[in-house]
Amino acid sequence: MLIPLKLLRDKPLQQQLHEQLRELIVSSRLAPGTRMPSTRMLAAQFSISRITALLAYERLIAEGYLRTVAAKGTFVHRADNPPAPAAVPIAAGRTVGRPDPKLFPAAKWQTLMRAALDGLGEAPECGEPALQRAIARWLSASRGLAVEADQIILAHGRQHALHIAAHLLLRPGTRVVVEAPGDPLTEQLLAGTGATLIAVPVDDDGMRTELLPAWPAAMALVTPEHQRPLGAVMPLARRQALLAWAGQSGATVVEEDSDSELRYEPAEAPPLMRLDRDGIVLHAGDFAATLGAGVAIGYLAVPRRLIEAARAASSVAGLYGGRLEADALAALLDSGLYARHMLGVRRTCLARRDTLIRSLRLHFGEDARIAGTAAGLHIAWTRDHAQPVAELALRLGLDAGCCGDRVVLLGFGLPGERQIELGVARLAEALADARRGTALSGD
C-alpha cells in the first residue's frame, strides 16, 4: 500500500508525516480498519529514516488515530478527531532505575520458599534470627562492617527501615539534615515526624560538608555510595568531615546504602559505619536493586548502644513479620546463591549502563555530561529543558525522570540494550525535529 503524501525537505519530516497521516484519517481517505504499511515500507517509500516513521506512528497511536494488533500490524483506529493527550507528566518523586523482574531468580526462590514452608514450626532458630545472622554476615563480607545479628533490625523495605530510624532519632522540633536535591518521598517521611529539615546542597562529590549547620541536629540522612538522585559518590575526606561534624553537633548519621549492591567501579571509600569510632552511624539498606521490589525486606544495622532503643522504635513503626520470606532470603544469602545471582545481575546492568552511555554520546556528542555511573540503576544527564526532554524520553520507552530543569535521570535496570539504543535514537531524532521546526518558525 502506497500512502499519498508529499514531504518537503525544508520542514521537520516527522511533523509533516504525522500531520498528513492524521489529515488522511480525519478526512476518511484512510478508513477505520485500513491496514497501514510497516514503518520499514513507509521509510523506504519516502526515503526517510525508519526512526522518523516510528515516531510518527507512535504519536498517532498515542492520540488514538492508529492501533496495533499483535502479530498482525498497525491499523487505522478512528476517523473522528480525538483530543490530543497531554504530555506524559513526570510525577514528583517518580522512582527512576527500576530492577528488571525477568532477572529475579524465580526457580531458586520457589525452591527456597518450599523448603521454608516444609520446615515451618520445626526450627525455632529460623525466620528472623536466621535472617539477622545472614545479613550481618553479608554486611561483614560485602561492606566490611563488624556487626552482629542482634544489631540488625529487620524492616519491610528501604522506606520502612528509614521510618524506624526516624522514630528512633526524631521528635517534633528536632533538626534533621538532608541532601538537596534528595528523595522527595523520604523527605515527606521525615517531615511527618514534626522534625525540621535542613537542606544541605550536593555537588559532584555528594553533600557539601563545608555547608553543614553550626547548630545541633538530631540526625543527618545521606546517600554516600550513589547520591539519590544525582548519583555522586562521597569521597573519603567528606565522609570524615561529616562524621566529625556529627560528633560535634550531637547528630546520628543514617547512611542509606541500597544502591551499592550494584557497584560497577571500585569503592572510593569505606562505608560511614566502617569509619565510625563513636557509635553514631546507622546503616540502612535493602535487596531491591538485585531482587526487585517483590522481596520487601530492608534492614538497619545499628551501633550497640542503640540496640534496645531501635527495637522499641521498630515496635512503634511496625515490626517486620515474614517468616517464610525471611527463611528463603537467609538461605539465599548463606548458600552463596545470592552472591552469584548478584554478579549476574551486575554484569547485565553494567552492559545496559554502558549501552546507555554509549548511545547518549553517539547521538548527543562525546561531551555530554553524564554522572552517577558508579553504582545503582540510573544515571544523571545534565542538559537544558530537562522536564520536557524526560517526558519525551518516557514516552519513547526509556525509564526517565528529571531533577529540576537541568538534569534528566535515565534508568537502565529495566530496558534491555536494544530498547535503550532505539529509545535514545528516537529521542535524538525527535529533539532534532523539534529544533528544526523551531528554527524554521523563527525565520
DSSP string, 305-371: GGHHHHHHHHHHH-----HHHHHHHHHHHHTSHHHHHHHHHHHHHHHHHHHHHHHHHHHH-TT-EEE
Cell 494488533, residue located: 69
What confidence score (pLDDT) does residue 5 get? 80
From the list 286, 264, 206, 269, the residue with the least C-alpha distance to 412 is 264
Backbone angles phi, psi at 23, to 5 degrees: -65, -40
- The 3-state DSSP class for residue 220 equals strand
Omega before 266 within 30 of 0, i.e. cis: no
Bridge partners, residue 255, by sequence: 222, 283
Common-topology check for domains 13-76 and 101-335: no
Beta-strand pair 175-180/196-203: parallel
What confidence score (pLDDT) does residue 83 get? 43
What confidence score (pLDDT) does residue 122 get? 59
- Determine if residue 428 is left, alpha or beta; phi over 0 gives left, psi from -120 to 50 gives alpha, anything else beta: alpha
What confidence score (pLDDT) does residue 221 get? 98
- The 3-state DSSP class for residue 432 equals helix
What confidence score (pLDDT) does residue 151 get? 97
Bridge partners, residue 74, by sequence: 68
In sequence order, the 6+-apart residues with CB closer than 8 A to the CB of 186 are: 159, 162, 178, 221, 256
In sequence order, the 6+-apart residues with CB closer than 8 A to the CB of 358 are: none
Helix ranges restricted to H, 27-156: 39-46, 50-63, 106-118, 128-143
CA 383 – CA 316 distance, rounded (Å)? 44
CA 285 – CA 239 distance, rounded (Å)? 18
What confidence score (pLDDT) does residue 412 get? 97
Cell 546503616, residue located: 283
CA 209 – CA 366 distance, rounded (Å)? 31
Contact 106, 291 (CB under 8 A): no
Backbone angles phi, psi at 229, to 5 degrees: -110, -5
Give me the CATH code for the 340-442 domain, please.
Answer: 3.90.1150.10
For 174-197, what is each residue's pLDDT tens digit?
999 999 999 988 998 999 999 999
CATH topology of domain 13-76: Arc Repressor Mutant, subunit A (1.10.10)
What confidence score (pLDDT) does residue 263 get? 93
How far does CA 147 lie from the centroid of its chain? 28
Whole-model pTM over 0.75: yes
* Domain parsing of the chain, residue ranges: 13-76, 101-335, 340-442
Give me the CATH code for the 101-335 domain, please.
Answer: 3.40.640.10
What confidence score (pLDDT) does residue 79 get? 55
Regions of the chain short of the pLDDT cut 70: 1-2, 9-11, 62-63, 70-71, 78-94, 121-127, 436-443
CB atoms within 10 A of CB 157: 19
